[in-house]
Amino acid sequence: MSTSASLSGLRLVVSAGPTYEDIDPVRFIGNRSSGKMGFAIAGAAARRGAQVVLVAGPVSLPTPADVQRVDVRSAAQMHEAVLAALPADAYIGAAAVADFAPAQAASSKIKKQAGQDSMTLTLVRTRDILADVADHPHRPRIVVGFAAETDHVEAYARGKLEKKRLDLIAANRVGMAGTGFESDDNALTVYAADGAVHALGPAAKTQLADALLDLIAQRLTE
């Protein structure tokens, strides 16, 4: 059991990793998310005594001890799995979910044609998992989002926090040396709906997971 604040008796749903949106049987739209942050959060929550459901995109990370893992591939599958895991005391959306997906995946490999210099791919919006959880009849007491941005980090994070009616959002700048998607380390700034701001890191993602859970545990016990 972690020496940090206990989460015993609480149920947490965590989403982690990327989503892959299929174009055809051999190609997809994806991103660089490794899933390490979400898996670290899930593992740390379980060590604190929480019942944890981890909805994982396509990553090869081992399942943390005492965590129920649900593997998905697409944004639509992740949306379904997260909502199916409710009710919960907290939802932590650490996954990097695709905002758009191909309107229709081809049933066989798309072949280039003679003289073809370009191809148009029609994309459609995916369901917004964070917004739908925050608006759900069984809304968790705490809904936490993540914002990985290349610029205007604070403005985009605060906008997402307000628009999606979140309780907390953990923001980081993509591209900082030694941190981010594929690294074991990160640096987060957590913005709260009540106006509080918490700077976490730079530190190992395992340490950041515990620091973030301290903030969540504090709000769950208020």
Domains and CATH numbers, the chain: 11-99+122-220 (3.40.50.10300)
- Tens digit of pLDDT for each residue in 32-64? 899 999 999 999 999 999 999 999 999 999 999
How many Å apart are CA 105 and CA 24, to the nearest integer? 5
> Is there a contact between 26 and 36 (Cβ–Cβ < 8 Å)?
no
User: Each residue of 135-153: pLDDT tens digit?
Assistant: 999 999 999 999 988 899 9
Choose, from 31, 63, 77, 207, the residue flagged as catalytic.
Answer: 31
The residue assigned the tokens 């973030």 is 212
Q: Of the candidates 151, 155, 150, 158, which has an alpha carbon nearest to the alpha carbon of residue 191?
A: 158
Q: Helix/strand/coil (H, E, C) string of the chain?
A: CCCCCCCCCCEEEEEECECCEEEECCEEECCCCCCHHHHHHHHHHHHCCCEEEEEECCCCCCCCCCEEEEECCCHHHHHHHHHHCCCCCEEEECCECCCEEECCCCCCCCCCCCCCCCCCCCEEECCCHHHHHHCCCCCCCEEEEEEEECCCHHHHHHHHHHHCCCCEEEEEECCCCCCCCCCCEEEEEEEECCCCEEEEEEEEHHHHHHHHHHHHHHHHCC
Nearest residue to 52 (alpha-carbon basis) of 18, 16, 76: 16
Phi, psi dihedral angles at 141 (to 5 degrees):
-65, -30
| CB atoms inside a 10 Å sphere around CB 163 | 12
**Confidence grade of residue 178 (pLDDT, cut at 50, 70, 90):** very low
Can you give the pLDDT at residue 153?
93
Average pLDDT over residues 105-119: 92
**What gap in Å lies between CA 203 and CA 222, rounded to an integer?**
27
Identify whether 31 is a catalytic site residue: yes
Instruction: Output the pLDDT for position 181.
Output: 57
Per the confidence metrics, is the pTM higher than 0.85? yes
> What one-letter code names the amino acid at 33?
S
